Chain A
Amino acid sequence: MGNFDLLMQGFGVAITPMHLLLMVAGVLMGLVVGVLPGLGAPNGVSLLIPLTFSLDPTSAIILLSSMYWGALFGGSTTSILFNIPGEPSSVATTFDGYPMARSGESTRALTLAFMSAGIGALTGVIVITLLAGWASNFALRFGAPEYFAVYFLAFAAFIGMGSAAPMKTLVALTTGLLLSTVGMDTITGSVRLTFGYSELLSGISFLVVVIGLFGIGELLSTVQEGLRFRGVASRIDLRDVLKTIAELPRYWATSARSALIGIWMGITPGGPTAASFMSYGIARSASRKGKAFGTGRPEGIIAPETADHSAGSCAMLPMLALGVPSSATAAVMMGGLMIWGLTPGPMLFATQPDFVWGLIASMYVSNLIGVVLVLATVPMFAALLRIPFAVIGPMIVAICFVGAYTVSNSTFDLWLVLLFGLVGYLFSKLDYPIAPLVLAMVLGHKAENAFHQSMVLSDGSLGIFFANPLVSTIMAVGIALLVVPKVLAFGSRFRRRIPVE
């Protein structure tokens, strides 16, 4: 069956009244968590996962992914209206979005953002649709060494391509790896690093850690900054919306370039945040004339938003096809997949076509729903930020703790949320990246298992990681990702230093 037929079949799965309802609910909830600082996409999705246990996996992933799109849209709203990025990936949108809104063109800024976001998402899904069939052909060639190579590649990419100090990335990554080893290890059948606490026997849930790191951690940062949200009025005028849509084709070059950047960063583990910054930077250096960037340039909104959303949707592909998430939210969703009893990886396309294609089809529909809903409800959600922090702050805190409790009904997890809240706050203040920690918690144990299985298969010889062209190629790419950026950085520093001295 061709991709097109599969996609049509997927639409059959996705477009049912129940699923449409879930999409609307997901997008709306996503808007709320996107708008509220302290509740972002990764921990919004974490909070929702326990609620999906009673749904079938297809409905569950539709709900979660719709929430993700909603959160991406919601994050841009507060960036533009309040100069507060609701999501890390919408930081770049504040640069030109807020100035444009301040100068009285808030409708134009919002419309530009949402339309480019929609365009970005759409190109992302089209790319997934085209590549997905090809991914499933790979299905059966992945044994334990290949899986290990892929996890190695993901870790290498995070260390090599991340913008934070490499040693701080390493600290975050290894901390996550250690956390993932706590508890009963099913592969060796032994209990590890529990230090006698039976609460730790079942391990530390990454969901609880994410809720602490992102939820409580971000909230503490907000508290430190003084609990005040100041915003621009947010009435949406339909005529302005249409006028703005009409001016969009003028920026086709920016849109196309940003979408490409987003697709690349989404498929490689760069993630939406890196994509939006990169796209903004390139748009700025590519512009020739006109108002300076940072004063409300349309391209300054289009570039980060398009890239952000195309990266966000493309991040689903490596998650589904390889089991390698390229953003924190994708990592959380992948954890959800495993909880529902699905094994992410190439086999998923072969064994669960309804799930995969239902999800892909739903991405077309829910992004459309997202654009419409966000335009219709922006004033309402922006009003949430006018609720005094003394009320909304504690509510967010309570939601985080309730969410953590529902993960495994354990009161011990409440203390973990507190602890990781502090860790998240300190880490972000001191420029330790958090995403590698989450990635390591989700993938660490799988990587270790794959390594262990490979060693059993090869009787302890590392040669198994270079035993065939497939695994050798993946390992080589991983090593290159680890080494090349460092060499380039060292080289450029070296070149720059010479003329100075």
Chain B
Amino acid sequence: MTVRRFHAEIGTALVTGAVGATAAIGATSLGYGWEESGPQPGYFPFYVGLILIAASIWNLVSAVAAHRQASADASAGGEAEEPFLGREHLDRIGRFMGAMVVFVIATLFLGIYVGSTGYIAYSAWRQGKYRPISALAMGAGFAVSLYVIFEVIFRIPLLKGPIEPLLGIY
């Protein structure tokens, strides 16, 4: 599978347009007119939302135009449209994102220390081809330095899970 720039442009324009629409619709419930004390709370988000929709439509149209032009060039023997993301790229990004999402979910349940230890150890082990022991040491070392910097030096509590209290760390 290859994602072409055209697809990405269209997708982005649709999403930004949707954001504008959401904001404009959300603003209508606040009132977007004027009252005695100036603009109502929804005035600003409503009109900014409209501008965002308009700009998104413009980008959508110019993406389609550029695509037409490129297709025409391609059939005329000219340069074809550049691929946006090849299979290989998608693969790499997907794997990286996947690990990151798992890290976030693990952090929510187990806390930042356990989450980052696992995440770093896993990456070093699977992608970095380190021995499991040294990979785990890297992860744990990282978590310990986080603890020292944040909780000991700056006294900022980080997210903890069910495991830390068992070790006497709150």
Contacts and interface: CB of A to CB of B under 8 A. Distances in A.
Whether A and B touch directly in their complex, counting CB atoms under 8 A apart, is answered as yes
A181 B104 contact: no
A429 B8 contact: yes
A195 B26 contact: yes
A195 B108 CA distance: 23
B39 A455 contact: yes
Interface residues of A, number: 58
A301 to B, nearest CB: 31
A168 B112 CA distance: 36
A178 B104 contact: no
Given A395-B142, A406-B150, A415-B104, A451 B39 contact: yes
Contacts of A51: 154, 156
B103 A401 contact: yes
A171 B27 contact: no
A51 B93 CA distance: 31
A398 B118 CA distance: 11
Contact of A426 (B12, B19, B26, B58): B12
B71 interface: no
Interface core residue of A168, A219, A460 (most chain B CB under 10 Å) = A168
A185 B16 CA distance: 23
Contact of B155 (A54, A167, A223): A54
Nearest to B9: A430
A414 B55 contact: no
A203 interface: no
B100 interface: yes
Contacts of A165: 59
Nearest to A181: B45
A192 B42 contact: yes
Contacts of B97: 220, 422
A452 B5 CA distance: 41
Contacts of B92: 223-224, 226-227
Contact of A178 (B12, B52, B155, B158): B52
B158 A418 contact: no
Contacts of A185: 41
A409 B44 CA distance: 29
A50 B119 contact: no
A7 B55 CA distance: 47
A456 B37 contact: yes
B155 A224 contact: no
Q: Which applies to chain B's interface (DSSP): helix, strand, loop or mixed?
A: helix
A178 B23 contact: yes
Contacts, number: 160
Contact of A174 (B12, B40, B51, B130): B51
A397 B108 contact: no
- Classify chain B's interface size: 35 or more
B51 A455 contact: no
Contact of A394 (B42, B51, B119): B119
Interface stretch (B73-81, B120-128, B162-170): B120-128
Interface in B92-123: 92-93, 96-97, 99-101, 103-104, 107-108, 112, 115-116, 119-120, 123
A177 B50 CA distance: 12
B107 A401 contact: yes
Given A190-B41, A430-B9, A460-B38, A398 B116 contact: yes
A390 B100 contact: no
Contact of B138 (A167, A389, A391): A391
A105 B8 CA distance: 42
A455 B48 CA distance: 18
B89 interface: yes
Contact of A430 (B8, B96, B124, B154): B8
B8 A401 contact: no
A103 interface: no
Given A50-B156, A171-B52, A394 B112 contact: no
Contacts of A50: 156
A168 B154 CA distance: 41
A388 interface: yes
B123 A456 contact: no
Interface in B11-38: 12, 16, 19-20, 23, 26-27, 30, 34, 37-38
Contacts of B9: 430
B150 A170 contact: no
B160 to A, nearest CB: 11
A450 B18 CA distance: 28
Interface of B: 5, 8-9, 12, 16, 19-20, 23, 26-27, 30, 34, 37-42, 44-45, 48-49, 51-52, 55-56, 58-59, 62, 84-85, 89, 92-93, 96-97, 99-101, 103-104, 107-108, 112, 115-116, 119-120, 123-124, 126-130, 138, 142, 146, 150, 154-159
Given A390-B123, A394-B103, 15 more contacts: A51-B156, A165-B59, A170-B51, A174-B52, A175-B19, A188-B41, A190-B30, A390-B128, A391-B124, A397-B100, A398-B103, A401-B107, A402-B158, A430-B9, A453-B38
Across chains A and B, which 9 residue pairs bring their CB atoms closest together, nearest first? A390-B128, A390-B127, A455-B38, A174-B52, A398-B116, A394-B123, A190-B41, A170-B55, A188-B41
